[in-house]
């Protein structure tokens, strides 16, 4: 599927009921409670409907509770949502279509879908950009990493996680020496002011 066809698919899906908030409705926000502190993300249903729906399904299923931020690279990203503290991977659902090229950029505080080298391989894992990581955006000749949300409260907590000491564990690099556990992720009934 080309980038243009993927973008067209996203635009068509915007017209389907249930994938976007009602006109005038508040954007969806989620609270991520971790062993290092809490922070709040705001979803962008309009520009990343598939990625947001995918993420919120994992949230509603309670999938993220007990997972960790298993990859922390100071000045780059913190990545989580797939592994337990023992570095056992939780079984994800099928991957979601890549929505990079949706007008959202991998800037500081943005949240994007993690994936392998295969463009349409993102499932449960996500990362938060600790800096402007524009090389992760899509280009006319290649897929990027699809941004679907942003941190609207608690970026200081995210930065603190990004400064954790890391090492090698279980064949993985950049693993925090002291696990940063995601205790729960929940949709806020009343969004916070930005």
Residue 5 has a pLDDT of 41
**Residue 46 burial (C-beta neighbours within 10 Å; 0-12, 13-18, 19+):** middle
Q: Which two tokens stand for residue 47?
A: 């520009």
Q: What is the pLDDT of residues 33-64, one digit of tens each?
A: 999 999 999 999 999 999 999 999 999 999 99
Q: Is the pLDDT of residue 66 over 50?
A: yes
Q: What is the pLDDT of residues 6-19, one digit of tens each?
A: 444 444 344 343 44
| 37, 40, 153, 162 from 157: Cα distances, Å | 6, 10, 9, 9
- Map residue 50 onto helix, strand or coil: helix
Pairing of strands 29-34, 181-187: antiparallel
Question: What residue ranges do the domains of the chain occupy?
Answer: 3-14+31-90+100-187
pTM exceeding 0.85: yes
Topology adopted by domain 3-14+31-90+100-187 = Cyclophilin (2.40.100)
Residue 18 has a pLDDT of 44
């Amino acid at each position: 599927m080309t980038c243009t066809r993927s973008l067209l698919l996203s635009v068509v899906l915007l017209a389907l009921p249930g994938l976007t908030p009602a006109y005038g409705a508040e954007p969806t926000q989620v609270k991520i409670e971790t062993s290092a502190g809490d922070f709040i993300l705001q979803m962008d249903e309009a520009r990343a409907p598939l990625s947001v729906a995918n993420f919120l399904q994992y949230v509603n299923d309670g999938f993220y509770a007990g997972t960790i931020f298993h990859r922390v690279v100071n000045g780059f990203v913190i990545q989580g949502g797939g592994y337990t503290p023992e570095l056992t991977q939780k079984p994800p659902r099928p991957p979601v279509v890549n929505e990079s090229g949706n007008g959202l950029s991998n800037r500081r505080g943005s949240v994007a879908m993690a994936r392998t080298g295969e463009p349409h391989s993102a499932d449960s894992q996500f990362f938060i950009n600790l800096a402007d990581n524009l090389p992760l955006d899509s280009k006319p000749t290649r897929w990027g990493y699809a941004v679907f949300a942003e941190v609207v409260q608690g970026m200081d907590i995210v930065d603190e996680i990004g400064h954790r000491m890391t090492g090698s564990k279980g064949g993985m690099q950049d693993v925090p020496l002291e696990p940063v556990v995601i205790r729960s992720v929940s949709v806020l009934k009343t969004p916070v002011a930005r």
